[in-house]
Amino acid sequence: MDVRLAVCGRQRRGGLVRLGWWIGVAALVAQVVGCTAARQSDLHAEGPSGVFRPAVSQDVSATEYRVAPPDKLQIRAPGIKELDGVVTTIRPDGKISVNLLREIYVANKTPAEIGQILPEGAGKYYNHVQVSVEVAEYASKFYEVFGLAVRDGGRKPYTGRNTVVAALAGAGFNERAWPQQVSISRPARGGQPRATVIVDMKQMYMTGDTRQNYLLEEGDIVYVPDSPLEAWADTTRKVLAPFTMTVGAGQSVAPVAAR
């Protein structure tokens, strides 16, 4: 009888301990969920005079892309076999070397500006030279995509035509994501203050309202956060880990005590 009472007492105490654990877990979970508040865009981020500019449906370009080493350029020159289709890499000194042409400094120029320079050299050998230049490989400027919810994050080539929708369509995100709280952070530059805008991706892909489909710029940081539910699950797993180990150990010892 005394043994049964002792065992019963231990069971009651064990139940109280477990109850205390669950109360602590519930309190911590409530704290985590309560602290996961939705962020708001900076006041100067959006609007007619905001830092972030919406993309347009045709020929989007945040700025006229200016090339830099080690971008690759492709030259189009119909009728000039020495030039047409040539792909050349901008050297560290900012110059390119092309058949028929002298070394030409092209760094920080747009493809259109380079296309106006090249005919000067080719004109010595051909009449009515028409040359155009396009970027064959963007390798000098980047933006970043981060977050545990992102499938293919990291550094991405900046082309001057990148948008929020295109960036996230390319990177993708999983069920951990909080798509209503995607943040785009832009460093300060050129007298413009740094700014962060909060983009509701779910609103865009559910309704087609693309007013927040902003043009990205070089150096922008795109972050896809975990949802509050995922944050709750992570915290719960961490808090319960010691408790689960204790319960497992108790279950293995219990049969020995009973004998």
pLDDT digits (tens, 9 = 90+) for 84-117: 899 999 999 999 988 777 789 999 999 999 998 8
Which band of pLDDT confidence, cut at 50, 70 and 90, is reported for residue 10?
low
Assigned domain for 184 exists? yes
Assigned domain for 66 exists? no
Mean pLDDT for the chain overall: 82
Assigned domain for 216 exists? yes
Assigned domain for 64 exists? no
- Whole-angstrom distance, CA of residue 3 vs CA of residue 164: 69
pLDDT tens-digit series, residues 155-203: 999 999 999 999 999 999 999 999 999 999 999 988 889 999 999 999 9
Question: Nearest CA to 228 among 164, 173, 184, 179?
Answer: 179
Question: Among 109, 137, 165, where does a domain finish?
Answer: 137
Assigned domain for 49 exists? no
Say what the pLDDT of residue 259 is: 41
Assigned domain for 197 exists? yes
Contact of 113 with 136, CB cutoff 8 Å: no
Question: Nearest CA to 53 among 249, 234, 231, 215?
Answer: 215
Contacts of 107 (CB under 8 A, 6+ apart): 67, 68, 69, 90, 94, 95
Which band of pLDDT confidence, cut at 50, 70 and 90, is reported for residue 211?
very high
- Whole-angstrom distance, CA of residue 158 vs CA of residue 61: 11
Assigned domain for 27 exists? yes
Q: Say whether both 252 and 210 belong to one domain.
A: no
Q: Say whether both 205 and 147 belong to one domain.
A: yes
Question: Among 137, 163, 185, where does a domain finish?
Answer: 137
> Which domain range does residue 195 map to?
142-226
Assigned domain for 211 exists? yes
Question: Among 81, 114, 137, where does a domain finish?
Answer: 137
Strands (E), the chain: 72-76, 87-89, 95-96, 104-105, 132-137, 142-146, 154-157, 182-186, 195-199, 221-223
Q: Say whether both 153 and 185 belong to one domain.
A: yes
Q: How many domains does the chain have?
A: 3
